[in-house]
């Protein structure tokens, strides 16, 4: 972690324990959801990220039914593994009909072995419970994950899309290093209770979806030609009047970004960094990754932050971030 490349992005510490760059790399889209994957370009993107010090890589076993982990594993060959803070997740399982939850100790023990194999490593730096399973007390899930820490297979534990009560219960069983939840200028629900809770407990916060799936990077606008398998076709935020209203808000943010001398995407990331959280924007190309990494050099003035709150206060964007059946799987308070 001392090479010149790693000094390019400023760094921070999650949960008082895990040293990471202020902006990480989300690897979900390398496998599916936003069009056909391009493994070669994804690997080039990973290599380029490491050159810029963006060495906090985030994946999960359910992304592409393991494909994302496999791509990340290939990207880390050739001695690159020791340069990376590697995060993955368990507990959200693909089925022919969609997804289901399984936070049982038995599943967690099986899942970590499969993830280690696909990633080509003997340990995971940050292992998340992807969703809290209401059928299994979160204390039982975390106790099983703690066993993996004792065995040396996992270094730190995290929770994804967990509410305040679950965070407190989990943290009482084993220190939670990070909580990961969707958070952006368009999705500010964590500000209600999750962010205050993790700050009180000294837990780090990782923001996935910092661009609200393309809204805040300018890639999704009314009339956008989405691929038939693009998951955004089924998300309320991207449909009809919701998308038109949201696009109008994005246009106002884009004007402010121009005044600040950065891109819309960079403004969205800089805003999150200013909140004291670590965004993990997805990138499937070297070009997009490089733009995201450059946001580490963008420092928003107090006036710019104030204007953003005035332009798009909490709740300004229209439409839920998930359809009802997926929204039911997340804990927001």
| Beta-ladder partners of 180 | 160, 206
Looking at 34, 63, 127, 128, which residue is catalytic? 63
Per DSSP (E only), the strands in the chain are 11-14, 18-21, 25-26, 56-58, 85-90, 92-95, 98-101, 124-129, 154-160, 176-182, 204-208, 278-279
Q: Is 183 tagged catalytic? A: no
- Cβ-based neighbour number of residue 231 at 10 Å: 17
Contact 46, 70 (CB under 8 A): no
Residue 37: both structure tokens together: 């994957």
Rounded Cα gap, residues 312 and 176, in angstroms? 31
- How far from chain centre, in Å, is Cα 5? 22
Using the 8-state DSSP alphabet, how is residue 33 labeled?
Answer: S
Q: Which residues are catalytic?
A: 63
């Amino acid at each position: 972690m001392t090479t010149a490349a790693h000094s390019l992005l400023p760094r921070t510490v999650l949960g008082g324990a895990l040293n990471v760059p202020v902006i990480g790399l989300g690897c979900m889209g390398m496998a599916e959801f936003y069009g056909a994957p391009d493994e070669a370009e994804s690997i080039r993107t990973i290599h380029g990220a490491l050159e810029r010090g963006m060495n906090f890589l985030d994946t999960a076993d359910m992304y592409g039914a393991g494909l994302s982990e496999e791509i990340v594993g290939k990207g880390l060959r050739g001695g690159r593994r020791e340069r990376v803070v590697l995060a993955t997740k368990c507990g959200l399982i693909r089925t022919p009909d969609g997804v289901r939850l399984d936070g049982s100790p038995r599943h967690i023990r099986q899942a970590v072995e499969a993830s280690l194999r696909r990633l080509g490593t003997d340990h995971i730096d940050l292992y998340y419970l992807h969703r809290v399973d209401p059928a299994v007390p979160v204390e039982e899930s975390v106790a099983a994950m703690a066993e993996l820490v004792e065995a040396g297979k996992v270094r730190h534990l995290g929770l994804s899309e967990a509410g305040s009560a679950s965070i407190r219960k989990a943290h009482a069983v084993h220190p939670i290093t990070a909580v990961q939840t969707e958070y952006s200028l368009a999705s500010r629900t964590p500000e209600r209770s999750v962010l205050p809770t993790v700050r009180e407990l000294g837990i780090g916060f990782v923001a996935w979806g910092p661009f609200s799936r393309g809204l805040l990077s300018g890639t999704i606008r009314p009339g956008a030609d989405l691929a038939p398998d693009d998951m955004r076709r089924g998300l309320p935020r991207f449909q009809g009047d919701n998308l038109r209203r949201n696009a109008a808000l994005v246009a106002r943010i884009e004007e402010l970004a121009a005044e600040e001398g950065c891109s819309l995407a960079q403004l969205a990331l800089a805003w999150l960094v200013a909140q004291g959280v670590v965004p993990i924007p997805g990138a499937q190309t070297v070009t997009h990754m490089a733009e995201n990494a450059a946001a580490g050099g963008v420092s928003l003035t107090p006036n710019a932050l104030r204007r953003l709150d005035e332009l798009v206060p909490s709740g300004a964007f229209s439409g839920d971030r998930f359809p009802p059946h997926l929204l039911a799987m997340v804990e927001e308070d």
